[in-house]
Amino acid sequence: MLELMSESAPMFIAVVFAFALLIGSFLNVVIYRLPLMMEREWRNQANELLATPAEPGLPEGRFDLVMPRSRCPSCGTSITPWQNIPVISYLVLRGRCAACKASIPMRYPAIELLTALLAAVTAWHFGVGWEALLAVLLTITLLAIAAIDADTQLIPDAIVLPLMWLGLGMSLFHPMPGTDTLFISPRDAIIGAMAGYLALWSVFWLFKLVTGKDGMGYGDFKLLAALGAWLGWQQLPMIIMMSAVVGATINVTLIVTRGKDRSIPIPFGPYLAAAGWITLLWGETIKNTYLDMMF
């Protein structure tokens, strides 16, 4: 398939865009259900240990990424396949449930379209090949992590740990002909994973010793470790600096313009994910531009 598309980059990008739209629809399921699945598992474990009855409010019966079928949260009507076509169904239904006419959150088509756009940009940047497909996989995974963390302040191990191991595993194929960004050496990947985890772990404990409070979650450590495994330890300073600057700018803006409570915890995962994606595509360009300006 890739060989057939090697002579037509626009076709490759179009195919990636179309498949990413479908994946974006599935991401909406993952973003909504995975935190609930995690919470239900924690509750069940706690109830089992404490011998207490199950608490109401969480889904009962089989509840995973496949079952039950998607339903309207207002009337409970099952969503048919034709009502679940990414973006198009939302436009045809005019953003309302076909049964009860309740409003469908704009978030759903936004995630679908954003997934497709980011995947297409990534495919365009890397060109036709396995490197582009792996970069698209990283892009989509980072988007899922960012959305879940923004909603729940959780970064699921079920996503971030396989991402880290995949990055380490890819390094075994270094050097791979025709690639210059992914497939870093095993040495760089291993050091990247270790340094990524320890960098934020050290900040966490230093902040806790000084203030007595938790400054971030362990999921952030694992996410930076995964980015280090994919991109190498050399890119970690840029990722940390970029995520800190963007995060601080957005948070200060929210406090000034919307009166956001400073005591409310702010998820750091979305900023790490965004910085990691930017570094994946333009890290070397940004670094070289900075060095040229400074020296």
DSSP secondary structure, the chain, as one string: -HHHHTT-HHHHHHHHHHHHHHHHHHHHHHHHHHHHHHHHHHHHHHHHHHT-PPPTTS--SS-SSSSSPPB-TTT-PBPPGGGGSTTHHHHHTTTB-TTT-PBPPTHHHHHHHHHHHHHHHHHHHH-SSHHHHHHHHHHHHHHHHHHHHHHHS---HHHHHHHHHHHHHHGGG-S-TT-SSSS--HHHHHHHHHHHHHHHHHHHHHHHHHHSS--S-HHHHHHHHHHHHHH-GGGHHHHHHHHHHHHHHHHHHHHHHH---TTS----HHHHHHHHHHHHHHHHHHHHHHHHHH-
Range of the domain at 194: 133-295
In this structure, the answer to whether residues 184 and 98 fall within a common structural domain is no
In this structure, the answer to whether residues 78 and 163 fall within a common structural domain is no
17 pLDDT above the threshold of 90: yes
In this structure, the answer to whether residues 33 and 48 fall within a common structural domain is yes
Of the residues 128, 146, 168, which one is the last residue of a structural domain?
Answer: 128
Give the total number of structural domains in the chain.
Answer: 2
The pLDDT tens digits of the residues spanning 233-257 come to 999 999 999 998 888 787 777 767 7
Q: Over pLDDT 90: what percentage of the chain?
A: 48
In this structure, the answer to whether residues 8 and 82 fall within a common structural domain is yes
In this structure, the answer to whether residues 81 and 193 fall within a common structural domain is no
In this structure, the answer to whether residues 151 and 293 fall within a common structural domain is yes
In this structure, the answer to whether residues 124 and 261 fall within a common structural domain is no
Of the residues 73, 106, 128, which one is the last residue of a structural domain?
Answer: 128
Pick from 70-79, 81-90, 171-180, 222-231 the range whose average pLDDT is largest. 222-231
Model confidence band, residue 123 (pLDDT cutoffs 50, 70, 90): very high
Mean of the pLDDT values across residues 39-57?
Answer: 75
In this structure, the answer to whether residues 149 and 279 fall within a common structural domain is yes
In this structure, the answer to whether residues 160 and 200 fall within a common structural domain is yes
In this structure, the answer to whether residues 107 and 146 fall within a common structural domain is no
In this structure, the answer to whether residues 37 and 143 fall within a common structural domain is no
The pLDDT tens digits of the residues spanning 55-101 come to 666 676 777 787 778 888 778 788 888 888 889 988 988 888 888 88
In this structure, the answer to whether residues 121 and 166 fall within a common structural domain is no
Of the residues 82, 111, 128, which one is the last residue of a structural domain?
Answer: 128
